[in-house]
Structure formats: C-alpha cells, structure tokens
C-alpha cells in the first residue's frame, strides 16, 4: 500500500496529472492510495502483554486475549496475537510448556498472612479410587490454613476454599502456586484480581521454588500414610 502511494505521489510531481487519473491508468483504488494509518501506540499493550505472560507462563494467546479484554483493552484478538508473536511469547508444546520470558524471584514473607502457598496432593483409597487434597500454607508461620479433600477439586472449588478463608482471616498479598490447570483457571484468576491477591507461579518443572508447601506435603504423607 505504501509503495503504491509513493508511485502515485512521484508521478503527480513529475507529470502533473491528477490522483484520480493516475489511479485509473495504473489500476489502483483511490481508497488505498489515500488511506492513512490511524492506529494508536502499541507500547503500553506490548508491556502489559509481557507482564501477563510472566505472571501466567502456561497461557497462550487466547487466554491472554481474554484477560486483556476483561481489563478493558479494546484491541481485537488479531492484533494481540500479532504482538504476542512479535514479542516471542509463544508457548512451546513439546515436552513441557515454557515461555521465553524471565521469571521474577519470589520475595520471602516478613509477617503472617503476607504470603501463602498452595499445592495439590494425590493418593488412592483402599478400593483404588483416587482422591485429591488441597493444602494451603502460610509460608511465614508455617501454619496450614486449609486442607480440602475430595475426589475432584477444580478451579471453582479452590475459589470457594479461599473465600471461606477470607471470611475469617485477612487474605494474603501473594499466593505461590505451581502451573497446574486449576491455578491457571479463569475462575481463580478473576477471584485474585477482584480480591487484590497476586498469584505467583513457580518456574515450570521447578517444585523447589515452592519448597515450603512441598516440605509440608511430604510431612503429611509421612504422618498420614
């Protein structure tokens, strides 16, 4: 489009013909020659896209688009996908989902209810039926603030547990979680934004980044086996 506009402009200056006549002779549409890009600055959108990719390393373009739209960004999915690729944020799907952005180190807690950690445990009953256990730990006091057990625990159930805790004690500023699908769910993400809680995701395949809850889960297995 820009090349056609340049050709018409140069021929106007050299031959003195009108734009209408030149477009007719060259077979160009006047609307394309006269069009001027009126897009807005993409810098803030790029910056927010990278922030979300760091916060949610398992999210691809569709989930990031959903989050941006809930925050009020008017850009459509095509622009967000283009910037997503241009920033090199595409998630590789071979062995483990990863994203090519640096991880922010987790700052230690300095007081109670400042940072919690969540993780799931899985075991089998005598009748070979599997069950899951959601453990929530205060990383400063090492207090187990919740332990939820059921055969199925999804993102909505995690939200209900956190809501129940919030009714009786202050919610933390941050919650450290792994990259399981329950912690990347829309329900938990919407709850965290509404409550002002930051979800801190560990590096994929690095449970040592959530060492407090891993140590607690190990003790639970030893004492309850």
Q: pLDDT digits over 157-204, tens only?
A: 999 999 999 999 999 999 999 988 888 888 999 999 999 999 988 888
Which tens digits make up the pLDDT trace of 32-80? 776 666 666 788 888 999 888 888 777 888 889 988 988 888 888 888 8
- Rounded distance between C-alpha atoms, residue 39 and residue 37, angstroms: 6
Task: Collapse the DSSP code of 132 into the 3-class scheme (helix H, G, I; strand E, B; otherwise coil) and give the result.
Answer: strand
Answer left, alpha or beta for residue 205, where phi above 0 means left and psi between -120 and 50 means alpha. Answer: left
Per the domain annotation, does 110 fall within a domain? no
CB 53 within 8 A of CB 99: yes
Which residue's structure tokens are 């810098």? 43
* Domain containing residue 72: 40-102
Residues 84 and 137 grouped into a single domain: no
Per the domain annotation, does 108 fall within a domain? no
Residues 209 and 138 grouped into a single domain: yes
CB 56 within 8 A of CB 184: yes
Confidence grade of residue 105 (pLDDT, cut at 50, 70, 90):
low
Expressed in angstroms, the distance from the first to the final Cα of the chain is 70
Residues 182 and 155 grouped into a single domain: yes
Residues 219 and 171 grouped into a single domain: yes
**Model-level pTM?**
0.60
pLDDT at 93 over 60: no
Residues 220 and 119 grouped into a single domain: yes
Residues 212 and 161 grouped into a single domain: yes
| CB burial of residue 222 (10 Å; 0-12, 13-18, 19+) | exposed
Residues 92 and 186 grouped into a single domain: no
User: How many domains does the structure of the chain reveal?
Assistant: 3
Sheet holding 174-177, edge to edge: 144-150, 130-138, 115-124, 174-177, 198-201
Per the domain annotation, does 10 fall within a domain? yes
Kind of pairing, strands 115-124 and 174-177? parallel
């Amino acid at each position: 489009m820009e090349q056609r506009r340049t050709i018409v402009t140069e021929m106007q200056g050299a031959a003195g013909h009108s734009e209408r006549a030149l477009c007719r002779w060259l077979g160009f549409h006047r609307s394309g020659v006269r069009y001027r890009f009126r897009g807005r600055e993409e810098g803030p959108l790029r910056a927010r896209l990278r922030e979300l990719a760091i916060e949610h390393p398992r999210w691809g373009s569709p989930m990031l688009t959903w989050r941006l739209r809930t925050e009020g960004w008017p850009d459509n999915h095509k622009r967000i996908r283009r910037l997503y690729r241009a920033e090199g944020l595409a998630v590789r799907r071979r062995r483990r989902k990863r994203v090519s952005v640096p991880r922010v180190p987790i700052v230690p807690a300095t007081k109670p209810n400042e940072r919690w950690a969540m993780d799931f445990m899985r075991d089998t009953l005598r009748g070979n039926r599997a069950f899951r256990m959601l453990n929530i730990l205060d990383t400063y006091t090492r207090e187990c603030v919740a332990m939820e057990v059921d055969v199925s625990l999804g993102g909505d159930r995690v939200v209900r547990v956190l809501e129940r805790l919030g009714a009786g004690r202050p919610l933390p500023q941050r919650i450290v979680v792994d990259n399981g699908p329950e912690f990347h769910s829309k329900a938990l993400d919407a709850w965290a934004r509404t409550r002002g809680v930051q979800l801190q995701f560990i590096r994929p395949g690095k449970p040592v980044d959530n060492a407090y809850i891993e140590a607690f889960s190990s003790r639970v297995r030893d004492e309850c086996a």
